Amino acid sequence: MLLGLGSALVAAVMYGVASILQATAAREIPEGGLTVRTLVELLRRPMLLASIVLMMLGYVFHLISVRQVPLFLAQTGIAMSLVVTALLAVRYFHDRLSRLEWVAIAAVVAGLVLLSSAAGDTGTERATPVLTGTLFAVLVGIVVVAFVATRFEGTFAAAVLGLAGGMGYAVVAVASRLLPDFVLGDLVTSASTYALVLAGVLAFFLYSLALQRGSVTAATTALISTQTVAPAVAGVAFLGDQVRDGFWAVFVAGFLLTAVAAVVLVRFEEGVDPLADEPEPAPHELPPSASRP
């Protein structure tokens, strides 16, 4: 239990930092669609490459987590990345957390404690043709929804693309559980491996598009909510994850507490967004050594 939860928290730190770098890169290029050209433009940004490296390192710990503890606990631990974002904003961008946001941080931690106490045995279900086929069907649906969403602008498009990206990350979590034992030959021939890679790339790309089109709030609320709730439901319903006998009320309370607190912290992220454009200072306000990139 400690290894799984600890790994989720390490992954959350890396994901939280990576999301800031990703948002920086996404806003450096013109708004694009679901095209190769947009992807190439993103990959030319050093910030995005740094974000990818951090995401990949974080996934190593994420993988350990989803194999050690129920998905509802692993994914809720990943939602701690929002706390990381908030604390980084305070530390490096001199923003202030209101009393409500500090309460939300405490609530996320309390929710994790409740979920930890409610977590039972981790499911041992591995890939079956039906499960892997379902994952690929979900990916096709994500592409269709995203293609339509890129035809729109503003908050609606950001929310839908964030939701689609969240579903992609949900597929990553479920596929990670379905992977066979870590033998190279088995991994290469497993359909779950390819579903995982495709879902991860797609989700990362869609979240970048969402950040271009609307507020961090719209994109991230949909992303975090979906990537937390969908795998949790799948784990309990289909993969054998268990809640301890007599702890269902604790499980529900912990899950809701964490989810609501996460939404509050996304609202904070919108308010202190260090990536928002600032008005250009007048020439006489710039110090002699100041320069613009």
Is residue 236 one of the residues assigned to a domain? yes
Q: Looking at residue 286, what is its pLDDT? A: 41
* DSSP secondary structure string for all residues of 119-135: B-PPP-----HHHHHHH
Q: Give domain status of residue 289, yes or no.
A: no
Tokens of 30: 């013109």
Q: Is residue 176 part of a domain?
A: yes
Question: What pTM does this model have?
Answer: 0.78
- SS3 label, residue 243: strand
**Which H helix or E strand runs over 251?**
helix 248-271
pLDDT at residue 48, rounded to an integer: 87
In a domain, residue 291? The reply is: no
With respect to residue 292, please indicate whether it lies within any of the assigned structural domains: no
**Domain hosting residue 241, numbered range:** 2-273
Is 286 within a domain?
no
CA 263 to each of CA 80, 99, 172, 198: distance values in angstroms, whole numbers, following the listed order: 12, 15, 22, 27
What is the model's pLDDT at position 35?
Answer: 81
Per-residue confidence (pLDDT) for residue 275, from 0 to 100: 42
Of the CA atoms within 13 Å of residue 291, those in its CB half-sphere come to: 2
User: Count of domains in the chain?
Assistant: 1
- Confirm whether 183 is domain-assigned: yes
Bridge partner residues of 243 (DSSP): 119
* C-alpha distances out from residue 289 to 7, 256, 279, 285, Å: 44, 50, 19, 11
Q: How many CB atoms lie within 10 A of CB 52?
A: 18
How much is the pLDDT for 59? 93
User: pLDDT averaged over consecutive 10-residue blocks of the chain (293 residues)?
Assistant: 88 86 79 79 87 92 92 86 73 70 83 87 84 95 94 85 93 93 85 95 91 74 82 89 92 87 68 45 41 35
Q: What is the pLDDT of residue 285?
A: 41
pLDDT at residue number 11: 93
Q: What per-residue confidence (pLDDT) applies to 268? A: 59
Q: Tell me the C-alpha distance between 220 and 225, whole Å.
A: 8
**Residue 279 covered by a domain:** no
